[in-house]
Structure 1
Amino acid sequence: MADVEDAWEPVSGEATGWLKDLDPDHNHAGYQPPRRPDAVWILHSMYVWNGGLVTTTHDDVYQSARASGLAEPEAPGEIDRDLLEGAVVTGTRLGRGGHPGAGWRRLRWAELARGFGEPAVPEGALPGNRCLRQAHPTGSWSAAVEPPAEGCLDREGWRRLMSLLVRHDVEGEARRCYAYYCSLVTGDWDREAVLAGRLGDAAELYDHPAMSSCPSNLWPEDRSWIVYCDWDLWGTKVVGPASLIESILADPELEALRLPWST
């Protein structure tokens, strides 16, 4: 397989012009496309320690480690330590993530929601910190839970989605695609970061060494489908033909749902 930096070449930011027309106000966090003609949200994966939930939160662990003076605890995700002064450490990571390893199991949003007798995503909301509030009432999750990552689909979910897109697209792996990284990912507010390459090489974009996240948007040259990862959300939206959306909803490795209020 080709090196990701060789397989995906930088192209003009003008490639995002049509996305700006669809969503003119959100390029800093990714362009949210409308339903074209169907849409689904893939919920970013979360995990729970095999021993079960504990009442100790991620914030408790952070503050305890800091107060002990034995060691400076690791700052969660890509967060500046100065920003943690007086803030609640939620446990939610920003950017790339995936299965934590031995001792952890996948915790479906639906499983947690059933336990609390609430919907996984409240009506009118998008997948984000307004969801599953009873699981993090103070803002901080149980230390026995690795909550959904913000701004980026988990590694396993991204690779699975790419395999479904390859299977669905009539050109398969050869389909030419564009990947856009928003300014909140790149830190560059003066230009649009867009790469072009083959759909067959899109799985490798997840670990592009110059980026801290999967692409904010990914779409084929014919614009028949679009993937959207907002830097502020815990879900990834896919829009396109109903057949593609149904395949995502039916896939056992992904947790996905339609949100009728999300146009």
Structure 2
Amino acid sequence: MTDRPSRLRLMTDTSPAAWLEAEMGDFDADVRALLPGRFDAYARILHPADSPHGEPVPWREVARWTGRAMHPGVQFKALARPARGAGQGPPPWDEPPERGELFQPMLSALCAVLARHTGTPDRCRFCLWDGWSWIADAASSMVLLESLPDTRPDASGPGREVAATAPAFDEVPRVRLPWRDYVMFEGPLAAAMDLGQRTAGFFFPQSPNLFWPADRSWCVATDVDFDSTYAGGPAGLIDELLGDPALEAVGVKPTDPIDEDSDQINRE
């Protein structure tokens, strides 16, 4: 539960995303389907699985149980199948990694690193896939309420009223990439944690599906079909992501495949 106001502004001018529309590749190809191929280096952040107790389970822990290999092209579908003679006792996870959603503590850790590698951390663009079921009607505008309504009969005083309501999402121009349509927001990098469904007294976070700073020094993608978040940027940024203990990240190349059946090492 939260009544923290959003720091995001819904954008009706989608021209800041024109560079992505010009540089994105075909969806079934490789990392360049998710991010522009212009960056010096790339990383892939692996979304954790869930334990029976609701705790995050890193892929390396899954690999220890299944006897499979961790490598840059690892895919959870292949990793989760026990190798011959492995997989004794109960598995450490019972739910696979979330697709299209980066675990909020990891998103926070990611943004802390990203902030050190842009000159415009206070001016970033965030794209949200317009197919999420919770943004299908006008009530979805609550994602942008500057303050949340208090429905208690005795509610009164400053800040208890709705200060501003965004237009319904179906009225907003889209960022149109080859495989997805998005609504776009602008705000400080820290507002990555503000995106999500807001109802009176509740907030259900949703990590951005695509975001970048105004200076385009890096770009991050969490596509709805994948259980990994991809980042492209300067080599120093990627080195930090790979070494951050709060993130389980592997280095990738822009030509690396991204589909779940592409793990050749753990295939057999």
Q: TM-score range by the shorter chain?
A: 0.5 to 0.7
For residues 111 and 2 of structure 1, the distance between their equivalents in structure 2, rounded to whole angstroms, comes to: 35
Instruction: State the alpha-carbon separation in 2 of the partners of residues 170 and 37 from structure 1.
Output: 17
Identify the residue that residue 108 of structure 1 maps to in structure 2.
Answer: 58
| Cα distance between partner residues in 2 of 1:145 and 1:34 | 36
How do residues 178-217 of structure 1 correspond to structure 2 at under 5 angstroms? 178-185=125-132, 191-192=174-175, 193-205=183-195, 207-209=196-198, 213-217=206-210
Identify unmatched segments of 5+ residues in structure 2.
28-32, 83-89, 137-168, 176-182, 258-268
Q: Is the Cα contact below 8 Å between 1:19 and 1:31 reproduced in 2?
A: no
Give the Å deviation of 1:168.
3.2
How many Å separate the matches in 2 of 1:35 and 1:43?
22
Q: Compute the displacement of 1:10 (Å).
A: 2.3
Q: Is the contact made by 2:72 and 2:250 (CA closer than 8 Å) also made in structure 1?
A: no
Name the structure where helix makes up a greater proportion of residues.
Answer: 1
Residue 239 (1) aligns with residue 239 (2): no
Secondary structure at the aligned position of 1:130 is classed as helix
Aligned equivalents of 2:93 and 2:64: distance in 1? 18
Give the Cα separation in 2 of the matches to 1:134 and 1:197: 42
Task: Quote the RMSD (CA, aligned, Å).
Answer: 3.3
CA–CA distance in structure 2, aligned partners of residues 14 and 158 of structure 1: 26
Segments of 5+ residues of structure 1 without an aligned counterpart are 51-99, 136-140
Greater CA drift, 191-200 or 237-246: 191-200
Residue matched to 2:146: none
Preserved contact between residue 61 and residue 92 of structure 2 (Cα < 8 Å): no
Q: 1:250: Cα distance to partner?
A: 0.7
Corresponding letter in the other structure for 1:201: A
Instruction: Work out the CA distance in 1 between the residues paired with 2:80 and 2:71.
Output: 10
Identity of aligned residues (%): 27
How far apart are the structure 2 equivalents of 1:152 and 1:33? 20
Matched, 1:165 2:165: no
Q: Max radius of gyration: which structure?
A: 2
1:41 aligned to 40, 44, 49, which one? Answer: 44
- Superposed, which structure 2 residues align to 1:74-153 within 5 Å? 100=54, 104=55, 106-120=56-70, 123=73, 127=75, 130-134=77-81, 145-153=94-102
- Label 1:134 to 1:213 Cα distance change in 2 as closer, same or farther (>3 A): same
Could you say if the C-alpha distance between residues 142 and 117 of structure 1 is closer, same or farther in structure 2, counting changes exceeding 3 Å?
A: closer
Partner Cα separation in structure 2 for residue 254 and residue 116 of structure 1 = 21
Q: Does 1:262 align with 2:262?
A: no
User: Could you tell me the TM-score, scaled by structure 2's length?
Assistant: 0.62
Q: Is residue 72–residue 251 contact of structure 2 (8 Å, CA) maintained in 1?
A: no
Query: Structure 1-normalised TM-score?
Result: 0.63
